[in-house]
Amino acid sequence: MNRMHELVARLNTANRVYYQENREIVSDLEYDRLYDELLELEKSSGIILAGSPTQKVGYEVVSGLTKVSHDTPMLSLDKTKDSEALAEFLGGQTGLLFWKLDGLSIVLKYENGELQQALTRGNGTVGEDVTHNARVFSNVPLTVPYKGKFDLRGEAVITLADFEAINEESKYKNPRNLCSGAVRQLNSEMAASRRVLFFAFNTADMHREPNVRHKAGSGIPTGKKSSQLEWLATQGFDIVPFELVTEQSVVEAVERFKEKISAMPWATDGLVLTYDDISYSESLGATSKFPRDSLAFKWADEQAETTLTRLEWNTSRTGLVNPVAIFEPVEIEGTQVSRASVHNVSILRELQLCPGDKITVYKANMIIPQVAENLSKNDRETAGGEAGSTGETAFEVEIPVACPVCGSATEIVGDPEALYCTSPACDAQQLRALSHFVSRDAMNIGGLSEQTLEKFLTHDIVTDYMSLFDLQLHENTILQMEGFGQKSYEKLIAAVEAAKDVALPNFIYALGIRHVGLANAKLLCSYVGHDGQKIPQLCKNDDYLEALSEIKGFGEAISHSLHNYFTQEKNTALYEKALVTMRFIMPSEDGSEKPLNGLTIVITGEVARFKNRKTLADFIETNGGRTTGSVTAKTSFLINNDIESTSGKNKKAAQLGVPVLTEDDFMEKFFPGKL
């Protein structure tokens, strides 16, 4: 499993660099070797991870989250902050002590070796069906070697590093809220983009079938929970790290866990202790609220009192203006802290923060600085109550009406309330907007890294996304920049020119409209018949909410975002200019006979007729074909401009009698007259 995770990570990184940055970090021969190794491991183990490059993931949009009753209630746990209470709880039993990850509890159901359903905890009795999202979790096995029926429980989480990166464009207080927001989306593209992970911590219902066996030998263990967790690891699941403990060792074990918190990649809000013996656990039953076989342990948050010196407002590269509390430095959990994000306007209003206030601060999950309480708020509320009869007004938090970066007007939107800069020309937003515009699933312009775009912005070469298509006007300036020579400049200009041939959904996605990912862009474009002129008309109409609600998966948030975007004059002016400049690729009509229907095609080596292999793969799939990464007996043909190549794919094709075509052969055979 470690090797499979390593291969998935290496291959996905190689794909991202190749397709997004137009460069290679491994040779085709090495890529093929790694890919074939992963394919063989998947075949021999019976495990396929959701993030595997051998799988073509299609994002799914559902109209709503279906409510489903749990087979076994998901009760919450009784809690303690006293580690000695854990020892008393164990008595003479052996226990399982593991991290209480701070995410969203999920039940996964498997049958016939495949993931069948995923449910949230919900109210413990009834959860929500989020199967469409679980299928794109980074590490959930889509298939497992065991063919019997079993359910398991675990926690969906987002790493702290990803939380910090993603939250720059969001308004979530902690990774748990961000994860919950991703998992409960109707569009699975969100869960995929937020890199949700799943860690198994419990077996919900193993449907013990003694006659069912898997490749590792025996069936599901029935005696110990630790054995069941280890068995789940053989099925491809990441399991939560745990220790076996006794009454004598549990207190020291708690301290060992505590020492590891600072190095934890995920947020944790404590530990869970449960009896290892399954029969003993089942004999205890449960109260109306808690199971009697488990207990949650939470560390007491170390709080410090300090004085708020000021509030700062920071504009992120997506326009979100975040309030940050700056206070007199205090030491918490062994480190000195002096600032904490307040996350959004709603939290700021609740805390009623203003300079000079006495506040208490702590580290959420012993990692993220937070404001716990405003001690001065109580005094003001008391004074306000007494002054009510005299007509004095209540305290009000001062919200900036201008962006601290560009000075443009700000706008409060959403629930919880968040503050945004209304100017798309804001310096804080432009770099991220342009980086998104040129990314792989958007305009797919190679050679325009964030560092290069930053240089172009600094030299006023680029002012908006349409100015990217006028780079040739700045040839002399670009050639004088570090990292550019004549060849790299010409390659960049060619990439920009080739990007004008783009599907309308990719262009709409490239605009970076809030809540409009690629899947939603495809739905929108399909609704208007891929007529780009109709989109602004649809979104600007007074009845836009009613009109857009007819699109599957479109709610008020998406509709408002589209309306706000297309009612801004600068946006519509650039959009109209783009409609003239772009050469939009129209999809084939539904139901029409496509020239590559039923064909499975593999691409390798450098391409010449197409911008890159991704563009060729998209062309093949648009015309009814299917692309895969490995040559098998089911492969229709291999495309390689070097027919005589001794690459692994060419050798495999020769062994299996699979034809090898150049790009010219391919075009002449299936698209005569279009070469």
Q: Annotated active-site positions, please?
A: 100
Contact by Cβ (8 Å): 225, 161? no
Instruction: Give residues with Cβ within 8 angstroms of 459, minimum separation 6.
Output: 474, 477, 481
Residue 149 DSSP label? -
Please tell me the distance from the alpha carbon of residue 181 to that of residue 187, in angstroms, as a whole number: 11
Half-sphere exposure of 186 (CA within 13 A, CB side): 16
Report CA Rg, the chain: 28
For 588-609, give one letter per residue: b (16+ CB within 10 A) or e: eeeeeebebeebbbbbbbebee
- Token pair 């432009």: residue: 430
Please tell me the distance from the alpha carbon of residue 95 to that of residue 277, in angstroms, as a whole number: 8
Continuous segment of H or E residues that includes residue 368: strand 368-374
Please tell me the distance from the alpha carbon of residue 442 to that of residue 436, in angstroms, as a whole number: 7
Cβ neighbours, 10 Å, residue 335: 10
Sign of the CA dihedral 236, 182, 268, 94? negative
Contact by Cβ (8 Å): 285, 300? no
Please tell me the distance from the alpha carbon of residue 440 to that of residue 384, in angstroms, as a whole number: 55
Q: Give the ranges where 46-166 is alpha helix by DSSP (H).
A: 83-90, 131-134, 160-166
Continuous segment of H or E residues that includes residue 39: helix 28-45
Residue 137 DSSP label? S
Burial class of residue 344, CB neighbours in 10 A (0-12, 13-18, 19+): buried
- Quick one: three-class SS letters along 6-20? HHHHHHHHHHHHHHH
Please tell me the distance from the alpha carbon of residue 196 to that of residue 166, in angstroms, as a whole number: 12
Q: What is the DSSP string of 448-480?
A: --HHHHHHHHHTTS-SSGGGGGGGGGGHHHHHT
Beta strands 637-639 and 600-603, pairing class: parallel
Paired tokens of 347: 């939290």
- Quick one: three-class SS letters along 627-673? EECCCCCCCCEEECCCCCCCCHHHHHHHHHCCCEECHHHHHHHHCCC
Paired tokens of 340: 């904490």
